[in-house]
Amino acid sequence: MDLVNLDKILEKEPKYRLKQAKSAVFKDLIEDWQEAKTLPQGLRKELQEHCPLRLEASIFGTPDGPSRALFSLRGGLKVESVLLRHKDGRNTVCVSSQVGCVLCCQFCATGQLGFKRNLDYPEITDQVLFFARLLKKEKQKITNVVFMGMGEPFLNYDNVLKTIEILNDKDGFNLGSRHFSISTVGIVEGIKKLAEENFQVNLAVSLHAPDDKLREKIMPINKKYPLEKILDAVNDYVKKTKRRVMFEYIMIKDVNDSDEQATKLAELLKNIPLSFVNLISYNPTGIFRPSLPERIKRFKEVLEEKGISVTQRYRFGQDIAAACGQLAGKR
């Protein structure tokens, strides 16, 4: 929906009207302005005409598994997001911040698309609203938003932060800042900027390799931001925010999953306080294959023996190719 237009239309109204309108959209999750009973009829009509609430998306997936939504944007572009329903009642939306991506990580489906453009904050917000409306019908709520869909959030910093600000608003969607996670390949300027924000959002850094040589090969951006620079920035971030940082590590067979590489990774991270490694099963999207479960288990053990905290994320709905980080808008 056109959030910029919403502000514009309500500029000429008393201040409380904007608050009422935003509360109707983000709290009551209305899908038609006629449902906004607190607003006068004339204003509802005007909003209906100039700021329609309909969201253009098609949905794929299974009722209790992950659902994947494909959004049609202006200019005929498409972008995807995923809803992950966890067994403990949490519902996470994995949102995209860009159409395509400039980074060309070898293992990532989005990179293979090339880069089209940044999403603006209403387009990112819509992805969350869409699933929030869906869940409302089941009397459920979104509990987490992760920027792990298409694109690199720190190359679209302002729109990402503005989205968080909107969804964090107490009079609206009211999702606490600790329920947002931003995942980055390690754009150092972004990490530094985030450390200065008032929002206590979670930071995740995609490492995927324990040394520059391998990382450069599978993630070309490592030439610009080598490991030492990234880890220095993370160190400063942790000191400043006292918040935990997650290092993501996708397990790719015979590429980054040996015992030696686990030892190297532990060496690299041992002095970074409050950090932990999240081992992610690789979703095959091209030239690589996923590590075998026994290999992942052993890799985890080596890290833990060396004092590194480790968590594990399994394949979310690989059957419908819906995991975060491999969205490509193929349909």
Q: Are 324 and 82 in contact (CB under 8 A)?
A: yes
The H or E element that residue 158 is part of is helix 157-168
**Options 23, 184, 202, 291; binder of ligand SAH; rule CB under 6 A:** 184
Dist CA 14 CA 16 (whole Å): 6
Q: How far is the CB of 125 from ligand SAH (least distance, A)?
A: 18
Dist CA 210 CA 112 (whole Å): 24
The residue annotated as part of the active site, out of 31, 49, 80, 104, is 80
Residues 93-112 that bind ligand SAH (CB under 6 A): 107-108
Which one of the spans 23-31, 127-135, 298-306, 320-328 is the region binding ligand SAH (CB under 6 A)? Answer: 320-328
Cβ proximity to ligand SAH, 134 vs 322, nearer residue: 322
Q: How far is the CB of 258 from ligand SAH (least distance, A)?
A: 19
- 228 tagged catalytic: no
Cβ proximity to ligand SAH, 69 vs 280, nearer residue: 280
Cβ proximity to ligand SAH, 109 vs 262, nearer residue: 109
Site string for ligand SAH, 131-150 (x = CB under 6 A): -----------------x--
CA angle 17, 132, 9 (to 5 degrees): 25
- 94 tagged catalytic: no
Which one of the spans 224-232, 256-264, 268-276, 277-285 is the region binding ligand SAH (CB under 6 A)? Answer: 277-285
Decide: is 275 part of the binding site for ligand SAH (CB under 6 A). no
- Name every residue whose Cβ is closer than 8 Å to that of residue 234 and which is 6 or more positions away in sequence: 191, 203, 205, 245, 272, 275
Identify which of 185, 274, 276 has the alpha carbon closest to the alpha carbon of residue 236. Answer: 274
**Options 152, 194, 238, 322; binder of ligand SAH; rule CB under 6 A:** 152
Q: How far, CA to CA in Å, does 85 sit from each of 2, 94, 141, 142?
A: 28, 11, 10, 9
Q: How far is the CB of 249 from ligand SAH (least distance, A)?
A: 8
Cβ proximity to ligand SAH, 23 vs 97, nearer residue: 97
Identify which of 231, 229, 313, 318 has the alpha carbon closest to the alpha carbon of residue 267. Answer: 231
- Name every residue whose Cβ is closer than 8 Å to that of residue 196 and which is 6 or more positions away in sequence: 240
Identify which of 127, 138, 141 has the alpha carbon closest to the alpha carbon of residue 89. Answer: 141
Dist CA 185 CA 103 (whole Å): 9
Q: How far is CA 87 from the centre of its chain?
A: 20
Decide: is 163 part of the binding site for ligand SAH (CB under 6 A). no
Site string for ligand SAH, 240-259 (x = CB under 6 A): --------x-x---------
Q: How far is the CB of 128 from ligand SAH (least distance, A)?
A: 16
Cβ proximity to ligand SAH, 106 vs 143, nearer residue: 106
- Specify the pairing of strand 180-184 against strand 245-251: unpaired
In the complex, residue closest to ligand SAH by CB: 325
Q: How far is the CB of 257 from ligand SAH (least distance, A)?
A: 13
**Options 283, 300, 316, 317; binder of ligand SAH; rule CB under 6 A:** 283
Torsions phi, psi for 98 (to 5 deg):
-140, 155
Write out the residues near ligand SAH by the rule CB under 6 A.
107-108, 148, 152, 183-185, 206, 248, 250, 280, 282-283, 285, 323-326
